[in-house]
Amino acid sequence: MLRPEHPASRSLSQLVTDFGFETRERVDSVEVSGVTVASSSVEPGDLYVGLPGRRAHGASFASEAARAGAAAVLTDAAGADLAAQAGIPVVVTDEPRAVLGDVASWIYRTQENPATLFAVTGTNGKTSVVYMIAAVLEQLGIRAGLSSTAERRIGDLAVTSSLTTPEASELHGLLARMRESEVRAAAVEVSAQALSRHRVDGIVFDVVGFTNLSHDHLDDYGSMDEYYEAKLALFDPDRARRGVVTVDTGWGRRLADESRIPVTTLSMAPGAEADWRVELGELALDRTGFTLHGPDGRSVTTSIPVLGSFMAANAALAIVMLVESGYDLEAIGQALDRDGGIQAYIPGRAERVSGENGPAVFVDYGHTPDAFVHALASLREVTKGRIIMVFGADGDRDTTKRGDMGAIAARGADEVIITDFHPRYEDPAAIRAALIAGALDAVPDAHVEEIADQRAAIRAAIARAGDDDVIFYAGPGHEDYQEVAGVQLPYSARDDVRLALREAGLLS
């Protein structure tokens, strides 16, 4: 984790007083300088927060945390009994997760952070918008940071992410490290689960953005309305000052109407009623041009080094969010003109991993029906030959989207290869069968093949692809593992595709 290198201590007794916590020992002389919910991440002086979990209570690891140097434990009443033998003070509250963000903010003093803070939510596109915000900031000469599904980054320093949005303790530690590093602006990817589970508590963002809402996470949320309400919570005065909303869907229009903070609207639809509009320009396999039209006749014409109209929408959202925070559109346009467009590298998002010879191969993190629709439509516009799609589906996740994923793949691609993704504790054959059934129900004569092993699947696609064909490998994106029965097995789709292309003599 990225956390302050030079943390300042704060009085535990003052924390107890300020938050009205209970204690089971005297804490007058105890000081804390950090906070974590993972016993494996404890550093000397930390407040270890023992949260109740599905399989075990975090307070069960209090002794381990104490041995690593934790100064005290914060937990609930049940956890206090478990932590009693740890030999360090135990502080008690009814709902430790609900106060974690505010406690972390208090310990790290993140309310004193001078950086401009951006947050992006939605089903698809969050990661891309976050990277584009950071890229434009850097092109403006602004030291920037980000937190995404792929990584946490401060300038050139980066660590791999384990959650889309980190736990509140980690996020506040990251913001405090950014303050040490003189970061002037930071963008954070915010999932629905992060809002429901208090991961962004204790933070008020300057500008928040909404990309879209589509079928996903119905294993966590009982309905699309419930899923929407989780996203809407970001557009509240307790969490943000201003918002930018893409209104190309009914969900976006509803959010713009129901937002509890001032919002600016954005659309790609010609003639749409929106404050900002996106007009597509040149489309190519490795670049997308667009013009962003704003109020009072203002506009900027630029490009992004990735394929897809949906990526242009993401880039436009990033620019409008920057303008809403106070950055000048003309200055942004001049920087982008100077550099030949937005200089963003977005790991595993419509990422071309092939060379000049042979078929173009794209690796993408998209694993929802809506993501498939937009990616395949964009590929179809610029592909001279056939589209061969390789994908699987998450195990132990929303099963209701699998039929739609298969159907969209069959309609949008010329050939489909169904493979394994993260089966987790599910039977991978059953997951593949659901995807195949969805494909053949939609297109009975579709060319669909089942190849369970990911490595074999991508090699089969490369073997049958011609120079004008495109291979779209959806799902793994930036990830470097495959999860099977609780074990994370090393696997990078990007590295494997490059290896397969070299084996085929198509990449040096």
Taking phi over 0 as left and psi of -120 to 50 as alpha, with beta for the rest, 20 belongs to left
Position 44 scores a pLDDT of: 97
Instruction: State the distance between the two ends of the chain, measured CA to CA, in whole angstroms.
Output: 35
Going from N- to C-terminal start, the domains of the chain cover 10-108, 112-339, 351-503
Decide if pLDDT at 367 tops 90.
no
DSSP secondary structure string, 306-356?
Answer: S--HHHHHHHHHHHHHHHHTT--HHHHHHHHHHHTS-----TTSSEE---S
pLDDT tens for 100-126 read 999 999 999 999 888 999 999 999 999
Q: Supply the mean pLDDT for the chain.
A: 95
Position 217 scores a pLDDT of: 62
Position 161 scores a pLDDT of: 87
Structurally, at CATH architecture level, domain 10-108 sits in 3-Layer(aba) Sandwich (3.40)
Q: What is the percentage of the chain residues whose pLDDT exceeds 70?
A: 100
pTM strictly above 0.75? yes
pLDDT class of 156 with cuts at 50, 70, 90:
confident
CATH assignment of 351-503, given 3.90.190.20, 3.30.360.10, 3.40.50.1820, 3.90.76.10? 3.90.190.20
Q: In whole angstroms, what is the distance from residue 502 CA to residue 357 CA?
A: 11
pLDDT tens for 235-272 read 999 999 999 999 999 999 999 999 999 999 999 998 88
Taking phi over 0 as left and psi of -120 to 50 as alpha, with beta for the rest, 217 belongs to left
Position 220 scores a pLDDT of: 74
Q: In whole angstroms, what is the distance from residue 188 CA to residue 78 CA?
A: 33
Decide if pLDDT at 450 tops 90.
yes
Q: What is the rounded average pLDDT of the residues 195-224?
A: 89
Position 348 scores a pLDDT of: 85
Measure Cα distances from 285 to 211, 289, 363 in Å. 23, 11, 13
pLDDT tens for 461-486 read 999 999 999 999 999 998 899 999 98
Question: Are 10-108 and 351-503 equal in CATH topology?
Answer: no
pLDDT tens for 329-360 read 999 999 999 999 999 999 888 899 999 999 99
Q: What is the percentage of the chain residues whose pLDDT exceeds 90?
A: 88
CA atoms within 13 A on the CB side of 13: 6
φ/ψ of 207, rounded to 5, equals -140, 135
Decide if pLDDT at 218 tops 80.
no
pLDDT class of 436 with cuts at 50, 70, 90:
very high
Q: What is the rounded average pLDDT of the residues 406-431?
A: 97
Position 242 scores a pLDDT of: 98
Decide if pLDDT at 381 tops 90.
yes
In terms of DSSP bridges, do strands 185-189 and 116-121 run parallel, antiparallel, or are they unpaired? Answer: parallel
Position 353 scores a pLDDT of: 95
Q: In whole angstroms, what is the distance from residue 106 CA to residue 16 CA?
A: 11
pLDDT class of 169 with cuts at 50, 70, 90:
very high
Structurally, at CATH architecture level, domain 112-339 sits in 3-Layer(aba) Sandwich (3.40)
Q: Are 46 and 10 in contact (CB under 8 A)?
A: no
Decide if pLDDT at 221 tops 90.
no
Position 163 scores a pLDDT of: 78
In terms of DSSP bridges, do strands 276-284 and 287-293 run parallel, antiparallel, or are they unpaired? Answer: antiparallel
